[in-house]
Amino acid sequence: MKKVITYGTYDLLHYGHIRLLERAKALGDYLIVGVTADDFDKNRGKINVQQSLMERVEAVRNTGLADEIIIEEYEGQKIDDIQKYNVDIFTVGDDWVGKFDYLGEYCKVVYLERTKGVSSSELRQEKRSLRLGLVGESTILKKIAKESTFVNGLVISGAFSEEKDALKNILEGIPVFEKYEDLLQKSDAIYLITSPAHHYEDIKLALKMKKHVLCESPIALSEVQCQELFDLAKSNKCILMDAIKTAYSTAYHRMLLLVKTGVIGKPKCIDATCTSIKEFDQKDPRKAKYAWNSISAWGPTAMLPVFQVFGTEYESKQILTCIESEEYHYDSFSKIDFRYKGAVASIKVGQGVKSEGELVISGTKGYIYVPAPWWKTEYFEVRFEQPENNRRYFFQLDGEGIRYELVAFVRAIELGTSLTNVEKTISCAIGKIMEKFMDGEVFRIK
């Protein structure tokens, strides 16, 4: 019996896929089809796949052409599969000519002519592109614009900033609008990173105009305002998402899953540190007005693992802070201690203090260590009492998680349902902490 093997993503299965599978089937007696896993697709830069792995597998199965379906999960697996299944022929479309010649050492390699004029990429691009407007003063907007180029179906419609000179040399080739309302008119959705004090009004206006919003956390500076915005988004059938890119990092997400499996036992303590050195000049009102203080810039990221592991119903909390400017509520450093029933957590954030930016989650059987900078890590360790039981995990991270965040936002809009990795309850809990800070419910470090 002559065995044939082929591989593909098979996203939005179309006639071209079927013709290729038919010709692969005709090469032998038994066809094995490898469907690429989601993570493997991400590692190859294919982050805009529209269907889940199971949907794609089912689509291939329904063609009736595959005698066996396997999952491709890692680089080099093709050699393993050819040897494992005693394959005679490897085949793939001729757009890969030469790429897999190295497999000729293990079996015959055949490149098949692809059906002209149809591809999954073209089908995705046929949908009307989502027009994303960029709003704010931060240089992060440049990263958003860059990462958007990796996401099919997403185009940048323009930008707006109240600070007229803020976008100079940041967004080349992107039109800058004079009025926020004008940008909203030309956009289907916005990415927002204005001063946190402006988020509530900026988001509210966008939602009233029925525009989807991806907002850099915190969404608002109070729990009530946060909830109001989510309610408005729901009533207007809009997507409102909290933009904490760490939540979309593959390593961070896998780390959370491991915690929930009980691999380190019952979590008892979390320590998260996020710091950077940023100059704050309160003598320049123009710059000071748009500066992000430490608790706004780093607080949401540092609180993320605390709220995702322990939940938002803490029994008490204490905010200790070093205030540099009363007028602008600017803290150079803040520390928040949370007490839960049977557990504690502590976060340290700073824009004027530098520390080791690591994350440690301690449990009754072991602990998880994520080295600095943990918020964009590709690597973490699970450590135990006996060092020989320690495990290390590596996951590729492209675009600091921003592109995965954008993909989730686009898909949520397409499907009309939230696909966020930051639950609404967490966004509101972050808003509550911001409110306590702004109201002065803190212990000052002098």
Q: In a 3-state reduction of DSSP, which class is residue 352?
A: strand
Parse the chain into domains and list their residue ranges. Answer: 3-122, 123-244, 246-444
Segment 225-246, tens digit of pLDDT: 999 999 999 999 999 999 999 9
CA gap 282, 208 in Å, rounded: 34
Q: Do residues 188 and 210 lie in contact, with contact meaning Cβ atoms separated by under 8 Å?
A: no
What is the per-residue pLDDT for 123? Answer: 47
Q: Do residues 230 and 424 lie in contact, with contact meaning Cβ atoms separated by under 8 Å?
A: yes
Could you tell me which residue, 163 or 48, shows the higher pLDDT?
A: 163
Taking residues 9-36, report their average pLDDT: 91
CA gap 404, 48 in Å, rounded: 9
Segment 367-384, tens digit of pLDDT: 999 999 999 999 999 999
pLDDT band, very low/low/confident/very high, at 71 (cuts 50, 70, 90):
very high
CA 47 to chain CA centroid, Å, is 11
Taking residues 80-95, report their average pLDDT: 94
Could you tell me which residue, 433 or 284, shows the higher pLDDT?
A: 433
User: Of the candidates 248, 241, 247, 245, which has an alpha carbon nearest to the alpha carbon of residue 418?
Assistant: 241
What is the per-residue pLDDT for 297? Answer: 95
Average pLDDT, the chain: 90
Of 2.30.42.10, 1.10.3720.10, 3.40.630.30, 3.40.50.620, the CATH number of 3-122 is 3.40.50.620
What is the per-residue pLDDT for 325? Answer: 81
As given in the structure block, the two tokens for residue 44 are 């190859």
Of 3.40.50.720, 1.50.10.10, 3.40.50.300, 3.30.360.10, the CATH number of 123-244 is 3.40.50.720
- Beta carbons within 10 angstroms of residue 24's beta carbon: 25
HSE on the CB side for 316, CA within 13 Å?
A: 3
Q: Do residues 379 and 392 lie in contact, with contact meaning Cβ atoms separated by under 8 Å?
A: yes
Q: Which fold has domain 246-444?
A: Dihydrodipicolinate Reductase; domain 2 (3.30.360)
What is the per-residue pLDDT for 47? Answer: 55
pLDDT at residue 27 is higher than 90:
yes
pLDDT band, very low/low/confident/very high, at 284 (cuts 50, 70, 90):
low
- Beta carbons within 10 angstroms of residue 94's beta carbon: 12
Task: Let me know if the fold of 3-122 is the same as that of 123-244.
Answer: yes
pTM summary value: 0.80
Could you tell me which residue, 144 or 76, shows the higher pLDDT?
A: 144
